[in-house]
């Protein structure tokens, strides 16, 4: 069986890795124009990204009838369409509005409050394409945002969580437990799983993700980033793919999100995800590779083999442990080998 992947970054690479034991030939394809690919009629196609240029290469994949969720991926890549769908389904999000050609800042603050985040409708990631506005401060011109961005109320959330689930062609669904996420400057820095003290929110989160996956007849893994405000969950955004906050599943769960995605796309049996051990995932952002990370007990390094650039996601370390207390110790050991800005991970870590 061949599964083509539109995009050849780390997510495609990790899907290829997950396909090997199942003898699924996963073929990530970059978005550069290297010419049309020769796909077989029975091949399957998925994506590791939601934006791509139109060229002979991407078109040859996008034109294939077995491209899973193509319309959903393209629709939800536009934050206005995504938020409108969530509203239509009655799923709670941060209050928002679309910045139209005649929207002025007074109207934005009147509707959304004094702290507002502008987000480009398309193309943003890792906090790029975003701008905070505060009513009490000089407000920059909305030129360049009107017609192509949305504005969201700034949410004073208690913490960030995400839920990752999979649905197959028969409509069967399975979910990982909620995972806690720490972002710094709009970029995921660390995830922690499991989060037993949030278990009471699991049914609420599953219901929300189920409603969306069912509404679009989704086949594969989908991720819902959430803000927890007290006992309420608000959707931050949806990723129509495997997600950085699911990298802990490579070592901390009975099935990785990458294998689960392949199974759901390929029509293989799903399995109920179970957490095997307390796990922390630490993203390696703009740091040189350091093989000393491997000396930390229970550490698993995934290095993406990219050129080191400031802030760039270059890999991640999963730390797996038998107890949360031991996990705190090994996390502290790892962080000693990391730049100073990583110390926040230990403050954020929760002992259960
Ligand atoms: P990703 O890398 O996940 O694709 P992104 O660039 O698409 O990120 P968002 O997830 O929309 O951006 O925002 C990045 C981070 O910014 C969030 O994880 C959260 O920490 C913060 N943020 C986003 N929206 C809001 C909001 N409405 N209120 C408060 N904080 C927010
Ligand atoms: Mg996000």
Q: Which residues of the chain have pLDDT under 50?
A: none
Burial class (CB in 10 A: 0-12, 13-18, 19+), 136: exposed
Q: Residues 263, 338: one domain?
A: yes
Domain end point (choices 47, 67, 87): 67
Angle between helices 79-88 and 202-215 (to 10 degrees): 110
Looking at the CA of residue 125, tell me the nearest atom of ligand 1.
6
Q: Report the CATH number at residue 133.
A: 3.30.1490.20
**pTM for the complete prediction?**
0.97
Six-digit token pair at 228?
């927890």
* Domain membership flag for residue 291: yes
Q: Report the CATH number at residue 254.
A: 3.30.470.20
* Domain membership flag for residue 80: no
* Domain membership flag for residue 59: yes
113 CB within 6 A, ligand 1: no
pLDDT of 282 reads 98
Q: Residues 40, 119: one domain?
A: no
pLDDT of 304 reads 98
pLDDT of 127 reads 77
Q: Residues 133, 170: one domain?
A: no
Domain span at 250: 159-351
pLDDT of 144 reads 87
The alpha carbon dihedral of 243, 244, 247, 253 has a sign of negative
Q: Report the CATH number at residue 63.
A: 3.40.50.20
pLDDT tens per residue, range 135-190 = 999 888 888 899 999 999 999 999 999 999 999 999 999 999 999 999 999 999 99
43 CB within 6 A, ligand 1: no
Give the count of domains, the chain. Answer: 3
| Ligand 1 center from residue 339 Cα (angstroms) | 23
Q: Residues 60, 109: one domain?
A: no
| Ligand 2 center from residue 127 Cα (angstroms) | 7
pLDDT of 140 reads 85
* Domain membership flag for residue 74: no
pLDDT of 124 reads 78
Q: Residues 321, 172: one domain?
A: yes
Bridge partners for 238 per DSSP: 224
């Amino acid at each position: 069986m061949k599964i083509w992947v539109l995009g050849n970054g780390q997510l495609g690479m990790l899907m290829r890795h997950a396909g090997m034991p199942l003898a699924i030939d996963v073929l990530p394809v970059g978005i550069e124009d290297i010419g049309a690919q020769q796909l077989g009629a029975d091949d399957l196609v998925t994506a590791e990204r939601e934006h791509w240029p139109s060229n002979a290469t991407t078109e040859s994949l996008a034109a294939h009838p077995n491209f899973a969720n193509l319309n959903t991926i393209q629709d939800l890549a536009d934050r206005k369409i995504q938020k409108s769908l969530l509203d239509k389904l009655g799923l709670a999000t941060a209050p928002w509005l679309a910045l139209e050609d005649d929207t002025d800042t007074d109207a934005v603050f009147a509707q959304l409050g004094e702290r507002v985040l502008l987000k480009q409708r398309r193309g943003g990631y890792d906090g790029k394409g975003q701008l905070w506005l505060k009513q009490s401060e000089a407000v920059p011109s909305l030129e360049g945002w009107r017609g192509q961005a949305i504005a969201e109320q700034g949410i004073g959330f208690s913490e960030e969580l995400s839920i990752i689930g999979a649905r197959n062609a028969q409509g069967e669904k399975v979910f990982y437990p909620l995972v806690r996420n720490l972002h710094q400057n709009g970029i995921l820095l660390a995830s922690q799983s499991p989060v037993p003290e949030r278990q009471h929110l699991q049914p609420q989160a599953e219901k929300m993700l189920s409603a969306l996956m069912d509404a679009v007849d989704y086949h594969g893994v989908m991720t819902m980033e959430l803000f927890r405000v007290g006992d309420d969950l608000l959707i931050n955004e949806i990723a129509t793919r495997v997600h950085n906050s699911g990298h802990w599943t490579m070592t901390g769960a009975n099935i990785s999100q990458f294998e689960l995605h392949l199974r759901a796309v390929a029509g293989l049996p799903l399995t109920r995800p179970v957490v095997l051990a307390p796990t922390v995932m630490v993203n390696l952002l703009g740091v040189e590779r350091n093989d000393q990370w491997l000396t930390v007990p229970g550490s698993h390094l995934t290095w993406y083999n990219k050129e080191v650039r400031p802030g760039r996601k270059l890999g991640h370390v999963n730390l797996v442990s038998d107890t949360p207390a031991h996990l705190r110790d090994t996390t502290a050991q790892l962080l000693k080998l990391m730049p100073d800005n990583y110390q926040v991970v230990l403050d954020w870590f929760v002992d259960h």
